[in-house]
Structure 1
Amino acid sequence: MLKKIAAAAMAVLMICQLTACGESPDDNTKTEGISQEKTEDTSQEEAEGTQEEADSSGSITTNLEKIDMSKWMYHAEDNVYYQIGISYCEMPADASYETLAVFVPGDYLSGTDNGDGTYTCEINSEAEVNGYAAEAAPIVIPIETPGYAAQAALTDYTSLTEYMEAGFVYVHAGCRGRDAGAPAGVTDIKAAIRYLRYINDAVPGDAEKIFVFGMSGGGAQSALVGATGDSELYDPYLEQIGAVQGVSDAVYGSMDWCPITNLDSADAAYEWMMGVTRTGLSDDEQAISDAMAASFADYINQAGIKDENGNVLTLEESADGIFQAGSYYDYIVGVIETSLNNFLSDTEFPYDSSASGENEGGPGGRGGFGGRGNDGDFPGPDGNMEFGEFGVPGGKEGGKELREMDGEGGLEGPAGNGGPDGAGESPYEELDDITRTETSNGITISGTYETASDYIDALNANGTWVTYDAATNTAAITSVSDFVKAFKSVSKNLGAFDQLDAGQGENILFGYGDGNGAHFDGVLAEILKELESSYASDFAEDLQKTDAVGYTAAQRLSMYTPLYYLLESEDGYGASIPAKHWRIRTGIAQSDTSLTTEVNLALALQNYDGVESVDFATVWGQQHVKAERTGNSTANFITWVNECMK
């Protein structure tokens, strides 16, 4: 009901404000119900004497200059041409973030030395790198925004050898973070994409073959960019910063590691799947947790989520636990068992768990504990929130600033301190050093296991929840709750994403640009009202607020929820152009979000007409990292892009 009310208000709000976006990355994927013609009002521009830059059809409008082909820098050792500090919007909200950098394999350009360290270049149409001609190369854009933090604009050259050798054009776009409030981060990336299409005739790379990729909050925003292509809801925000008008911001592919997303149902999902591991709750708190778990069943039963065969999945009441039965429950059991059986298939025994490589490829890893919680917010042994190096409190009281994780400490590469592949000292790995309090049933995987049976015995150390058939090398689990108790204990306070005191990172995300947190979960708000909680008034007050363009938290939440655009039951269905290709990876042992987050996203995409491929896997034993069953995340991403380009 809350979504219907919000949608109705949004429709009224935008009758006069919004215009439809332009062309799609591929004409045959245009979605019905979206106006493809851009209505332009140029009277103000004409009155002010502004310059209009248009393509041959006259639809592109901007005052931005195209990239200056006489300003290329050249890194001889890497054979890379690059430019840094290119403005991608006319009226940046924060010019220190809203610029982009372009890195091009040297063979794609023919350069003439200007004698001052710069080169005048033109596209070399005869060259090929890894089978790609200059004009046909894929463009990849990292979105490394852990905890929805800002992505710092590059100010110097960074080595991107693997991408350059692959023949990719690499574009790093700085973007605002959660302090600016949703939808600032995605808006900025969309503006950068629009600029790339505007300059596509001048630089190497195919702007119709753009891939975005990220992890955690970056994975979430990568999924959002992938799901919200040409959504009219973003128009007032794009106009506010002076983004190029009349071009598409849809992308061709989206790579998402551990995406913290679908925040409209994430609190309820967290309690449904993992609430059973909470301890020490008061009676009032337990009532909230139980009500949230039950509300997730309501969500699933109206969402119309389908399996790969088109069967609608539902939850049913159960004798044990809260709605731990039904076809949706059985599907989640199957996902867990598939993850474990993939591990058994991938792993060669004897198996050294300490050498498995939690963060970059390799099966296994730590078993349920020792991983970190939210990007920046860490629960201590007593269950209360502690704030480590990458985060400080930012609740409703005091207006404390949240530190931008990628803006301080000196990045060496676009993906963090470890460079573009996320290896080494990335923010994710540093946060993974934070330890957890183990539940009474929790298990820890460590040491060397001689056989698969030995490993299964370790999983069952505190009670049997896994059965194993050595003849077929396959395993099964007893229940979701038994899996969670052993392997996926809670690490976040009640109200995992919309915390009761508005102190969570996502609360800052749905704040209003002042560093203060705001509530956004309408379902939790209704529960608190029904339970006559003292927090109910705070939620009700925040849900009535509007931002600078007149949007409520509920409206912005829809914009920041991929499933709003992907499920037929949602009002946003058919109102965007989703990416054709998706790759989703998650560490199944992470406690940062419920496993249902990634499962629901993958299923919605698999059933969406126009999406051509969805490569989804959960990685056993790995946590909140760039999880891969085998190999290196960068190499696997490059391989996937190449497959999508065929």
Structure 2
Amino acid sequence: MPVSKESKKKLSTVLISSLLISGLTTVSLTPSNVSAVSQQQVKVSHQVENIIQKRGKALKEYSLKFNQNNYKIESITVGDKTVTYRAYENIVYVSNPVDTNLQIMNIYVPEEYFENATIEGYTAKTAPIFFPNQIGGYREASPATPERESVALALSRGYVVASPGARGHNSESENGKYTGKAPAAIVDLKAAVRYLRYNDKLIPGSAEKIIANGTSAGGALTSLLGATGNNKDYDSYLKEIGAANARDDIFAVSSYCPITNLDHADMAYEWLFNGVNTYNWRGSGTLTDEQIQISNELKMLFPEYVNSLELVNYESRNTNGKGLKKAPGQFKKGTVLTLDANGEGTFKELVKFYVIESAQSALDAGTDLSDFDWLTIKDENVTDIDLEQFVVYATRMKTPPAFDALDASSWENSLFGTDTIAGQHFTQYSFENSAVNGSLADAQRVKMMNPMNYIGTKGANTAQYWRIRHGTIDRDTSLAIPVILATKLQNEGKNVDFAMPWNIGHSGDYDLEELFAWVDSISKSSGNHK
């Protein structure tokens, strides 16, 4: 069949672009010789496709319309119940992906919804959408499957599950360029939410009830997703990857031990662990004199930051009728949370309160706390804690600075790298004291990775419902970090369920029954349930 003049020009453009991307640049293409080239079109296209797919780079523009017919019927046993579901897997959720191995989503829907059935009071229109990510260490992550306990249990309770993959700081193309530095991961999660909203009429479940879930860096990104709904700071990034034209705010956040507020995490870590000079991570040891000095300096920076937040405690402190009725240092409703130059003050008392509350819950559940002489227990009530001795018990994990390493070697340094720079500093302290003459990350990108910069601001639709869990002996970040996040949300009128489970380290999804009871409570009490 003859090739038209216009077709020749289009084919020339496509092939030239493809060959440039693939590196096959030794062929000279013009409209005059495109007929000859077209005879080998299939062969060249296959070469280009193989090369580009190896890199995870999209060869085509992907449709944003959900394909209802592209699924498998599968089943899984949860307890004594067999759950049959439709598995829609490896859905590319943007039209112009950077990496089709990561910018994909798995969607699972209980089969009963296609039979007009009701599950635990939910229908195909009202079921919440559980949105778990598997991100850790700000590294790239694949979507979850029902082999993950939280996914299987969510399906058994009648939830639709949509789990996104995302780029991370370690993502890179075959040509050696990094493709997942900040803010790539949060942009990907937002794009996945937009896909769900864009296809709300085609995908069972309610896009108005998306509950995001994550642990560690995944918890931080879940918090960031919940804090920054529809904020325009991310629009250019979303447009670049072809995200759907839809909202990206969500209904609720479930965040386990979020490694967040990174630009203030070093000072918060030393505020808590200063004076504990042994560590145990990537080997054990004792802090050097230089490291002790760094710890002292960082600790001194923290009170100014806390005081600048102007946080207020509005919570009733006698909800369980125990413990803090007699606790020293307790404060009245409406107390401003501050620290003096030595790191003492009402903010510290609030951190202590959450640890005391945790110990009380453990004691009520029958846990023997008698060996902990840093707890004061009277008449089955935990009334006080020596926080410094408690921290010695918990132990220090990281050397200072805990996040913005002076040699720019941490995962967080890598997060703030560029497409050509492996890692950068993201705090003024580490930049000024860099051991490697490291560069400082762009302030806007640092801002975009911290939910504290968006909660309560005019340009962000922050989720109304939050559940935050951080174990009392989780040493990956300071206990102060989740307390700051939870308090800021409370001050902005959000519904926050925050607790520090007793003797739990850095982990998540350890209380799924309680998590899903919370999901049910907020989903069924809000509008549009029936």
User: TM-score surpassing 0.5?
Assistant: yes
> Which of 89, 112, 126 is 1:84 aligned to?
89
1:283 Cα offset (Å): 4.3
Given that residues 138 and 211 in structure 1 are in contact (C-alpha distance below 8 angstroms), is that contact kept between their aligned partners in structure 2? yes
> Which of 445, 463, 466 is 1:579 aligned to?
463
1:327 Cα offset (Å): 1.4
Determine helix, strand or coil for the equivalent of 1:187.
helix
Given that residues 198 and 244 in structure 2 are in contact (C-alpha distance below 8 angstroms), is that contact kept between their aligned partners in structure 1? yes
In the TM superposition, what are the counterparts of 1:362-441 in structure 2 within 5 Å?
Answer: none
Given that residues 264 and 557 in structure 1 are in contact (C-alpha distance below 8 angstroms), is that contact kept between their aligned partners in structure 2? yes
Structure 1 partner of 2:488:
604
Given that residues 141 and 170 in structure 1 are in contact (C-alpha distance below 8 angstroms), is that contact kept between their aligned partners in structure 2? yes
Determine helix, strand or coil for the equivalent of 2:253.
strand
In the TM superposition, what are the counterparts of 1:517-556 in structure 2 within 5 Å?
Answer: 517-525=423-431, 529=432, 533=433, 535=435, 538-539=437-438, 542-543=439-440, 552=442, 554-556=443-445
Structure 1 partner of 2:65:
66
Q: Give the Cα separation in 2 of the matches to 1:615 and 1:193.
A: 23
Q: Give the Cα separation in 1 of the matches to 2:200 and 2:434.
A: 55
Rate the CA distance shift 1:103–1:265 in 2: closer, same or farther, 3 A: same
1:560 Cα offset (Å): 1.0
Given that residues 486 and 498 in structure 2 are in contact (C-alpha distance below 8 angstroms), is that contact kept between their aligned partners in structure 1? yes
- Unaligned ranges ≥5, structure 2: 1-60, 76-81, 171-179, 279-285, 315-332, 526-530
Structure 2 partner of 1:326:
345
Determine helix, strand or coil for the equivalent of 2:89.
strand
In the TM superposition, what are the counterparts of 1:487-526 in structure 2 within 5 Å?
Answer: 487=394, 489-514=395-420, 516-525=422-431
> Which of 89, 93, 102 is 1:97 aligned to?
102
1:150 corresponds to which letter in structure 2? Answer: E
Given that residues 314 and 327 in structure 1 are in contact (C-alpha distance below 8 angstroms), is that contact kept between their aligned partners in structure 2? yes
Structure 2 partner of 1:474:
382
1:514 Cα offset (Å): 4.9
Given that residues 590 and 624 in structure 1 are in contact (C-alpha distance below 8 angstroms), is that contact kept between their aligned partners in structure 2? yes
1:266 Cα offset (Å): 0.3
Given that residues 227 and 454 in structure 2 are in contact (C-alpha distance below 8 angstroms), is that contact kept between their aligned partners in structure 1? yes
Determine helix, strand or coil for the equivalent of 2:496.
strand
1:68 Cα offset (Å): 1.8
Q: Give the Cα separation in 1 of the matches to 2:266 and 2:406.
A: 11
Q: Give the Cα separation in 2 of the matches to 1:214 and 1:473.
A: 33
In the TM superposition, what are the counterparts of 1:40-439 in structure 2 within 5 Å?
Answer: 64-75=63-74, 78-110=83-115, 124=116, 127-153=117-143, 160-179=151-170, 180-245=180-245, 247-278=246-277, 280-308=286-314, 309-317=333-341, 323-346=342-365, 348=366, 351=367
Given that residues 66 and 202 in structure 2 are in contact (C-alpha distance below 8 angstroms), is that contact kept between their aligned partners in structure 1? yes
Report which of the two structures shows the higher radius of gyration computed on alpha carbons: 2
Given that residues 406 and 434 in structure 2 are in contact (C-alpha distance below 8 angstroms), is that contact kept between their aligned partners in structure 1? no
1:222 Cα offset (Å): 0.9
Q: Give the Cα separation in 1 of the matches to 2:434 and 2:468.
A: 39
1:163 Cα offset (Å): 1.6
Structure 2 partner of 1:560:
449
- Unaligned ranges ≥5, structure 1: 1-61, 111-123, 318-322, 352-451, 546-551, 568-572
Determine helix, strand or coil for the equivalent of 2:300.
helix
Asked if 1:459 corresponds to 2:464, the answer is no
Q: Give the Cα separation in 2 of the matches to 1:169 and 1:224.
A: 22
Q: Give the Cα separation in 2 of the matches to 1:230 and 1:534.
A: 36
1:510 Cα offset (Å): 1.0
2:405 corresponds to which letter in structure 1? Answer: Q
Determine helix, strand or coil for the equivalent of 1:334.
helix
1:170 Cα offset (Å): 0.3
Given that residues 98 and 153 in structure 1 are in contact (C-alpha distance below 8 angstroms), is that contact kept between their aligned partners in structure 2? no
For these two proteins, the number of residue pairs brought into alignment is 423
1:293 Cα offset (Å): 0.4
1:639 Cα offset (Å): 1.0
Determine helix, strand or coil for the equivalent of 2:351.
helix
Q: What's the CA shift string for 1:295-345, capped at 9, x where partnerless?
A: 00110111112212443211013xxxxx23221122222222222122111
Rate the CA distance shift 1:580–1:534 in 2: closer, same or farther, 3 A: closer
Determine helix, strand or coil for the equivalent of 2:106.
strand
2:293 corresponds to which letter in structure 1? Answer: A
Determine helix, strand or coil for the equivalent of 2:492.
coil
TM-score (norm 2): 0.76
Higher relative contact order (CA 8 A, sep 6+): 1
Q: Give the Cα separation in 2 of the matches to 1:67 and 1:260.
A: 33
1:515 Cα offset (Å): 7.3
Determine helix, strand or coil for the equivalent of 1:337.
helix
Given that residues 231 and 460 in structure 2 are in contact (C-alpha distance below 8 angstroms), is that contact kept between their aligned partners in structure 1? yes
Structure 2 partner of 1:588:
472
> Which of 611, 616, 626 is 2:498 aligned to?
616
Q: What's the CA shift string for 1:568-618, capped at 9, x where partnerless?
A: xxxxx3321111100011111111110001100110111114x2x110000
1:519 Cα offset (Å): 0.9
1:278 corresponds to which letter in structure 2? Answer: N
Given that residues 300 and 343 in structure 2 are in contact (C-alpha distance below 8 angstroms), is that contact kept between their aligned partners in structure 1? no
1:248 Cα offset (Å): 0.8
Q: Give the Cα separation in 1 of the matches to 2:354 and 2:229.
A: 29
Given that residues 137 and 167 in structure 1 are in contact (C-alpha distance below 8 angstroms), is that contact kept between their aligned partners in structure 2? yes
1:477 Cα offset (Å): 1.4
% identical aligned pairs: 34
Q: What's the CA shift string for 1:356-381, capped at 9, x where partnerless?
A: xxxxxxxxxxxxxxxxxxxxxxxxxx
Asked if 1:486 corresponds to 2:393, the answer is yes
Given that residues 229 and 579 in structure 1 are in contact (C-alpha distance below 8 angstroms), is that contact kept between their aligned partners in structure 2? yes
Rate the CA distance shift 1:324–1:92 in 2: closer, same or farther, 3 A: same
Q: Give the Cα separation in 1 of the matches to 2:124 and 2:146.
A: 24
Q: Give the Cα separation in 1 of the matches to 2:506 and 2:148.
A: 26
Given that residues 85 and 155 in structure 1 are in contact (C-alpha distance below 8 angstroms), is that contact kept between their aligned partners in structure 2? no
Q: Give the Cα separation in 1 of the matches to 2:64 and 2:189.
A: 18
Determine helix, strand or coil for the equivalent of 1:68.
coil
Determine helix, strand or coil for the equivalent of 1:136.
coil
In the TM superposition, what are the counterparts of 1:12-27 in structure 2 within 5 Å?
Answer: none
